[in-house]
Amino acid sequence: MEGDPVILHTNLSEILNDDTILWGFGPKESVISQIARKNDLTSVFATDEVSFAGRLQVDHKTGSLTIRNTRNRHSGQYKLTISREKTTSRIFHVDVFDVVVETDGVKSVSVTEGESVILQNDATELQKDDLIVWRFGDKGILLAKIDVETNKLSLNHADERFRNRLQLEQNGSLTITNARPEHTGLYEVQIRGRESSQRFLVSVSADVGWSSTVIAGIVLAVLLLAGLLAAVVIYYRRRISELEKQVAEEEKVEGMEGRTVVLKTGTTLQNGDEIKWWFGDDKNPPITQNSEWISTDADTSCDVSDERFRNKVQLGGGTGDLIISYIRTIHSGVYKVQISGKTRIKNKRFIVTVNVGIVSVKVGQSVTLETNIEIQEGDLILWTFGVKNGLIVKAESGATSVLVRASEADCS
């Protein structure tokens, strides 16, 4: 993964006199390192090419090559050539991949439409090798990136929602100017190289800028047209009532990871009502959809296509409440519900924050980490530790194993 070191072994116990070792990279097998031994003296060459500058380390005894603080650009084919009594070669295939880092929680940021959203990077001091990446939404849309090593900065101007609105500071903080309700959602910043991550749940409330104007107009109409007072009052009351129906209610909900969270519609369903629930962008397919509600007091299981919600959601009987079981931090975000009937349309929005549980013990005591779930036959259980998500336990059908991340093939 990005930020980790990669070690390519020669499998030699030591380099002998007259040995020459070459390390090549890429389809052209460009030489990135050479080790030669003559008369008990060892000479070492390492390329100063920008992609590998300061990252290569050679073991003078065995000739093994270490690539420190890797990036995606270091993925590819590496060739080892050893010239001794005869020449042998080996090929290594290296894949450096991105990491989705778990976080300790989600920070909530609320602003009014037209204001700027400032998402502060908590890293007090950036390191030379840091790579900072900002993403948005449940699809992880790339918004901005800065490579401290090369001082290269890039912003997403292709997404119409963020065009000419993004500002990325040198310390990694992100600013969204002139915010709109469409900017509501989950933002994440990752700092590769030290494997840290932060999440922000942003809520942008609509600015009903015409309220004072409407009120002033009503007062003026009353003063100038006293004779039409009754008609004016009736008209504006009806207009305001219609506008209120069009504005979606909003509710903030917090829950602990592993528990059940219920998003309440606040209404009673009637026969023929249509109810839809969305997660994230409402342009996505609904996570639940009931084309025609039939009166029942029982909770209803939902067949969903989104893997994050599979076997986790139910609709509450009689209300259409969304019941999410064994909730995780990946379920943090914006949920929307729409209930359509013959005489009404009800919209409501929920901003859900899922926090991670903390277990405290004294030194020497045992720690039990409860899953709070019922294990089914065929389930795969993975336990990881630390900011790098190091695998410590894997359980599947009673067997335990360790994952192998890279492959290498020998040829001579």
The pLDDT profile of the chain, 412 residues, written as one tens digit per residue, is 667 789 999 999 999 999 999 999 998 899 999 999 998 888 988 888 878 888 899 999 999 999 988 887 888 999 999 998 899 999 999 888 765 444 446 888 888 889 999 998 877 677 777 888 999 987 888 999 888 878 888 898 888 899 999 998 888 899 999 999 899 989 998 887 666 788 898 988 876 554 455 556 666 766 776 666 666 667 666 655 555 554 557 899 999 888 899 999 988 888 888 888 888 876 777 877 654 554 455 667 777 777 888 888 888 878 889 999 888 888 899 999 988 888 888 899 999 999 887 778 888 888 888 776 777 777 788 888 765 667 788 887 666 555 544 333 333 3
Exposure string over 206-242, b if 16+ CB within 10 A, otherwise e: eeeeeeeeeeeebeebeeeeeeeeeeeeeeeeeeeee
**Residue 75: what are its φ and ψ, rounded to 5°?**
-70, 145
C-alpha triplet 204, 239, 278: angle, nearest 5°: 40
Q: What is the pLDDT of residue 158?
A: 86
Q: Residue 67's closest CA among 81, 56, 79?
A: 56
399: DSSP letter: B
The answer to whether residues 333 and 279 touch, using CB atoms and an 8 Å cutoff, is yes
- Identify the burial level of 29 via C-beta atoms within 10 angstroms of its C-beta, where 0-12 means exposed, 13-18 middle and 19 or more buried: middle
Picking from 74, 58, 50, the residue whose alpha carbon sits closest to that of residue 2 is: 74
| Distance set, CA 260 to CA 90, 103, 375 (Å) | 53, 20, 17
pLDDT at 120: 87
Residue 27 structure tokens: 């389809």
Structure confidence at residue 253 (pLDDT)? 92
3-state SS class at 300: strand
Residue 360 is predicted with a pLDDT of: 82
At 351, give phi and psi (nearest 5°). Answer: -105, 110
In the structure encoding, which two tokens stand for residue 400, read together?
A: 């335990």
